Amino acid sequence: MSIAQPVAASEECLAQAHLRTLDQCHKGETLCIEALVEQPEFGDGDASVSMRLKELGFLPGARLTILGYGFLGRDPLSVKIAGTKFALRRREASKLLVSTVEASA
């Protein structure tokens, strides 16, 4: 998770300063996945969760849009990625490091 912390300003890291995890983003935002990070709360299962996320298309470079939230606590999230809709919880979303896609596209 350390990668999500703001880091010092080398040119490459400037871009990373804008990185958030998906659970920190808002409804309606379109985002680009930069990396999958570890989520200690999944314990030993973390690698499997990463694998399943990747298999479903949550890969670096993929774009997704947050469509909305479930009934309580803005959890789970519904997202649209490559035309397919998925529901995922905040905890899964916290494994996805994303950057903002400018609205110009």
Rank residues 3 and 47 by Cβ distance to other proteins and give the closer one.
47
Long-range contacts of 67-73 (CB under 8 A, 24+ apart): 67/27, 68/27, 69/27
In angstroms, rounded to a whole number, what is the distance separating the alpha carbons of residues 13 and 30?
A: 21
Which residue's structure tokens are 């990625």?
81
> Which residue(s) pair with 78 in the sheet?
68, 87
Rank residues 25 and 79 by Cβ distance to other proteins and give the closer one.
79
The residues that touch other proteins, with contacts defined as CB under 8 A, are 41-43, 45, 48-49, 51-57, 59-60, 67-73, 75-76, 78, 80, 82-89, 91-92
CB of 6 to other proteins, least distance (A): 27
Q: Which two tokens stand for residue 74?
A: 């803005």
Rank residues 25 and 39 by Cβ distance to other proteins and give the closer one.
39
CB of 103 to other proteins, least distance (A): 15
